[in-house]
Structure 1
Amino acid sequence: MQNRISSFPPLIDIQSEILILGSIPGVKSLEMQQYYAHPQNKFWKIIFELFGEDFTEDYTKRMETLKKHHIALWDVIDSCERKGSLDSEIRNEEANQIAELLEEYPNVKVIFCNGGKSYKNLQKALGKDYKLPIILLPSTSPLHTVSYEKKLEDWVRILEFLE
């Protein structure tokens, strides 16, 4: 098995209203030290299209766009062993402290999970009847073969929770 990998710190501030959780960064994201860095991952394309923003490759501007729209990012897994980037290869995982994060940032009113692994792990960590809505969205990973149009159609749900 590969060496242990770790997630990034949460990208969140006191004005964050939406928390988007992935499982743990893939190889390209770890290499670049950026959330959703794989060029074929549709996360950033979806976010920019949802908010009618001009797409950019500039990571600082991507972070500013999330902040502007009160969106926080993190992962449900703090660390694990994994070969490659597949969630199915995750072994010996340790959870992030999601409940503690949510207590520290009480303006978060909904959690969206980017894919099934984050959703299952979050339900295990917080319980199925957690006080905030937890919504499963299709993974933006290129390995999840749902069309871009279908992913975007489902990800539009984020807009329902913003004022």
Structure 2
Amino acid sequence: MNYAERIARLHARGVGIWDVLAHCERAGSLDSNIVRASEVANDIPGLLAAHASIVAIALNGGRARQSFRRLVLPALEARIARPLSVLELPSTSPANAGMTRAQKRAHWRALLDWSS
């Protein structure tokens, strides 16, 4: 299944995809190379305020978790009063070689509880 097909399949299940970061600087493609001072978060609180049906956020890997906690969570707590679940999941990247694909899949199955 190609990327577009995977995205379409997720959307059909009520799952949206959006990066925590709108912008950052890094050398290469590894998240570990992101320059922390360059990180600019997407307006996730604004997205959630505009779409009250969103009840959960899944974070793909440790860097997304760190950026979300540091840049998004403080603003989120100030703007969103409804309960919101945040799922901190392992990175799906091949660079995350500490887990097998089957182990990653087992963790990511938690999304099934939240999708339509």
TM over 0.5: yes
1:72 matched to 2:23: no
Task: Report SS of the residue matched to 1:84.
Answer: coil
Q: Distance in 2 between matches of 1:74 and 1:102?
A: 12
Q: Which residue of structure 2 aligns with residue 143 of structure 1?
A: 95
The answer to whether the 8 Å contact 2:15/2:115 transfers is: no
Alignment map for 1:85-124 (pairs within 5 Å): 85-91=29-35, 92-124=38-70
Q: Distance in 2 between matches of 1:113 and 1:85?
A: 18
Structure 1: tracts of 5 or more residues without a match: 1-55
Code of the aligned partner of 1:133: S
Runs of 4+ in 1 over 2 A off after TM superposition: 61-64
Where relative contact order (Cα < 8 A, 6+ residues apart) is larger, the structure is: 1
Percentage of matched positions with identical amino acids: 33
TM-score after normalising by structure 1: 0.60
Greater strand fraction, Structure 1 or Structure 2: 1
Q: Distance in 2 between matches of 1:161 and 1:58?
A: 22
Greater helix fraction, Structure 1 or Structure 2: 2
Task: Report SS of the residue matched to 1:149.
Answer: helix
Q: Distance in 2 between matches of 1:109 and 1:64?
A: 20
Aligned pair count reads: 106
Q: Distance in 1 between matches of 2:3 and 2:30?
A: 26
Q: What do you get for the CA RMSD once the two structures are aligned?
A: 1.7
Q: State the Cα deviation string for residues 74-117 of structure 1 (Å, max 9, x = none).
A: 11111111111111111111111110011111111111100011
TM-score after normalising by structure 2: 0.83
Q: Which residue of structure 2 aligns with residue 81 of structure 1?
A: 25
